[in-house]
Structure 1
Amino acid sequence: MSIHNQGAEMAGFVQIIEYRTSKPDEVAALMEEFRAKREAEGSGPAPVRGTSCADRDEPGRYFSIIEFNSYEEAMENSQRPDTTEMSERMMALCDGPGTFYNLDVQNRMEFG
């Protein structure tokens, strides 16, 4: 195991979106559509990595963990019209409003 302090080789900012939905397949398809479109455009700030998780202990609750190189890139990404559109479409598929967490990465442990 090793612990890496924040550095240029890893994302320095993470956004977590906690949400509830009875339409997880539609949310996943929307996120894939957004990823493919953003990758094809290849311009402007974009997430480094995205992970979607389902809560095993509370069915219907999900988390999206989105990593960015920096807080600044995340905020610039949030201001893009396509991000706003995707967020609005995602929230329309959710059962109530999402909860957003903005987190600075302090360190990362690598196992193995």
Structure 2
Amino acid sequence: MARFVQIIEFQTSRIEEIEELGRPSRTDGTTAPTFRRIIAAADRDRPGTYFTIVEFDSYESAMENSNRPETSDFAAKMAALCDGPPVFRNLDVQWEDTGQESDPAT
């Protein structure tokens, strides 16, 4: 299975509230989250524009995570704090380069 990345772009003047809202919802709940990692980023060139980059083992694990009640609840609350609707990018990972040299002895 190929890894999968979801990028969510959103605009808000209430980023502190979104950050506070997101902390517990990422790992709390009745079902375990399926993401590998989350990166939150601010656009340097467009103040008030943010990105959440979420990495999953597969598209299927991303859909499993989306179906968690905690994820749905967070998405609704986050949308209420945004200045417009978020934009979702759903990406199948084709290849990656970690930038780290591997040990030739291994």
SS in 1 for 2:64: helix
User: Which residue of the partner structure matches residue 24 of structure 1?
Assistant: 15
> What is the one-letter code of the residue matched to 1:28?
E
- Aligned partner (choices 71, 79, 92) of residue 83 of structure 1: 71
Going from structure 1 to structure 2, the CA distance change for 1:28 and 1:45 (only over 3 Å counts) comes to closer
* Unaligned segments of structure 2, at least 5 residues: 101-106
> Does 2:41 match 1:53?
yes
Residues 23 and 93 in structure 1, CA contact (< 8 A), matched pair in contact too? yes
Residues 27 and 33 in structure 2, CA contact (< 8 A), matched pair in contact too? no
> Does 2:2 match 1:14?
no
TM-score by length of 2: 0.86
SS in 2 for 1:48: strand
Residues 45 and 74 in structure 1, CA contact (< 8 A), matched pair in contact too? no
User: Which residue of the partner structure matches residue 54 of structure 2?
Assistant: 66
Q: How many residues align?
A: 100
Q: 1:29 Cα deviation (Å)? A: 1.1
SS in 1 for 2:6: strand
Aligned alpha-carbon RMSD (Å): 1.7
User: Which residue of the partner structure matches residue 3 of structure 1?
Assistant: none
Larger Rg: 2
* Unaligned segments of structure 1, at least 5 residues: 1-5
SS in 1 for 2:85: coil
User: Which residue of the partner structure matches residue 110 of structure 1?
Assistant: 98
CA distance in 2, matches of 1:37, 1:76: 15
CA distance in 2, matches of 1:52, 1:37: 18
Moved over 2 A (4+): none
TM-score by length of 1: 0.81
